[in-house]
Amino acid sequence: MIFSSISFLYYFLPITIALYFLFPKSLKNIVLLFSSLVFYGWGEPKYLLLMGISILFGYGFGLLVEKYREKKVGKIFCALSVSISLSFLLYFKYANFFVTNFNLATGFHLPILQVTLPIGISFYTFQMISYTIDVYRGEDAQKNIFSLATYIAMFPQLIAGPIVRYSDIAKQIKTRTHSFDMAAEGIRRFIFGLAKKILLANQLGELCSIFLDSLEKSVLFYWLYAISFGLQIYFDFSGYSDMAIGLGKIFGFHLLENFHYPFISTSITEFWRRWHISLGSWFRDYVYIPLGGNQKGKSRQFFNIFIVWILTGFWHGAAWNYILWGLYFAVLLSIEKLYFMKRPNNHIGMVERRYQIFSRIYVLFFVTISFVIFNGQDLGQVCSDIGGLFGIGGIPFVSDEALYCLRSFAVVLLIAIIGATPFACQIVTAILKRPMGKRILNWMEPVVLILLLLIMTAYLVDGSFNPFLYFRF
């Protein structure tokens, strides 16, 4: 089940909310857990067993790690728990990648395994790992297995994040407050996130599909595709994150932000502090810093950066283009750190105002190329698409189909570009500062939200293009 579906919006969600608030506080986690299991098992019930086994292992090891964390055996239990969690992920997500490449390298013909990727396994595996490590670092282990299962399986963030750490949500699992204002804020956030997904990401996805099917490629069309895909994945994923955060508020949870206008960044370092924040901070705190971070000299720091970004790329998918994508950012980040290290008074990610226009262009240029790498089906297509951006291969600069698509999607592209900046929020803030501003917005907001919901429902009933990019991760 996905958030952007009629079955979720008009059946599952209203019933879940009604049951959640009808039951007493002592049973709310049980209602949320049951609803989450229904949500997850809607399309692939067989993988509920896998999640259940993962939770049982995590629960048992959590208790053992807490009991023995002052002893060496506690570290062993922690390592075992992390290894078991990773083994599930490695088997279901990466086994065929390893088999295929082993066959290519050796000439052997080992059979490809008949396994499919369980939805959300990358996200809930990382959450289980964070739970075990947080307990090892001093957090109290969860004694109630249903509460731990609620943390792992909670449907608002189960299939697409943000990656919620146990240390950030442990107290909220035990006790949390609910209010009308918080629920209203959650509904508002959910609807705006849904709008980003259906009205922007899906439309941009149609443009990308037209490009991929086209036999009339041109330099303009390649750039139109690269920009559109970058905006599509931003609104697709940030929209889902907004919906998750909004749903969390309805149920009394405060989930951390996952995106913060990454396209206005003035460095690649800053971009990754604004894009998929929960994943970046997870790798920083559970991989980069334990490896030594920047505390063991420049050579070790750059080694750590490359390790983290190879893993980050590989986390996104079992294909060489994702590893290349990770290496691409590792190189860019290493170059930036070399440059800024020569200026001890500067903070990495901060650029002098007079250079910001050039630095923003630099970030947008390299990030746009990264999306082409990210979306390539194989390394051959990646090379072909990047070559297309620069006219390699004798392709024309412009084509009739590219101009047609540019005219057809101009309004969507313009709205998406503006929507990827803080401009709209700045307008709302300016209105609120006026004497009648708050009253006007309070009157307009419910009207706008209802209209948006009706329009999006029409799109969904029509059966329009409605993919979700992060399902594949």
Tell which residue, 181, 275, 282, 180, has the closest CA to residue 235: 275
pLDDT over threshold 90, residue 471:
no
Reading phi first (left if > 0) and then psi (alpha if -120 to 50, else beta), residue 441 is in: alpha
User: What is the structure's pLDDT at 353?
Assistant: 62
More confident residue, 432 or 18: 18
pLDDT over threshold 50, residue 345:
no
Cβ neighbours of residue 160 closer than 8 Å, sequence gap 6 or more: 120, 123, 237, 240, 241, 244, 468, 470, 471
* Tens-digit pLDDT profile for residues 195-214: 999 999 999 999 999 999 98
* Residue 287, CB-side half-sphere exposure with 13 Å CA sphere: 19
User: What is the structure's pLDDT at 298?
Assistant: 86
Cβ neighbours of residue 222 closer than 8 Å, sequence gap 6 or more: 211, 385, 388, 389, 395
User: What is the structure's pLDDT at 445?
Assistant: 87
pLDDT band of residue 344 (cuts 50, 70, 90) is: very low
- Quick one: tokens of 321? 């283009």
**Nearest-5° angle of CA 163, CA 166, CA 169?**
90
User: What is the structure's pLDDT at 434?
Assistant: 84
Q: Among 10-19, 90-99, 348-357, which stretch is predicted with the lowest mean pLDDT?
A: 348-357
Share of the chain above pLDDT 90, in %: 71
More confident residue, 352 or 262: 262
Q: What is the mean pLDDT of residues 165-188?
A: 90
pLDDT over threshold 90, residue 373:
yes
Q: Among 318-322, 405-409, 420-424, 467-471, which stretch is predicted with the lowest mean pLDDT?
A: 467-471
Q: What is the mean pLDDT of residues 253-282?
A: 94
* Tens-digit pLDDT profile for residues 417-452: 999 999 989 988 888 888 888 888 888 889 999 999
More confident residue, 168 or 221: 221
pLDDT over threshold 70, residue 349:
no
Catalytically active residues are 316
* Residue 326, CB-side half-sphere exposure with 13 Å CA sphere: 21
User: How far, in Å, CA of 100 to CA of 473, rounded?
Assistant: 19
Q: What is the mean pLDDT of residues 99-116?
A: 89
pLDDT band of residue 45 (cuts 50, 70, 90) is: confident
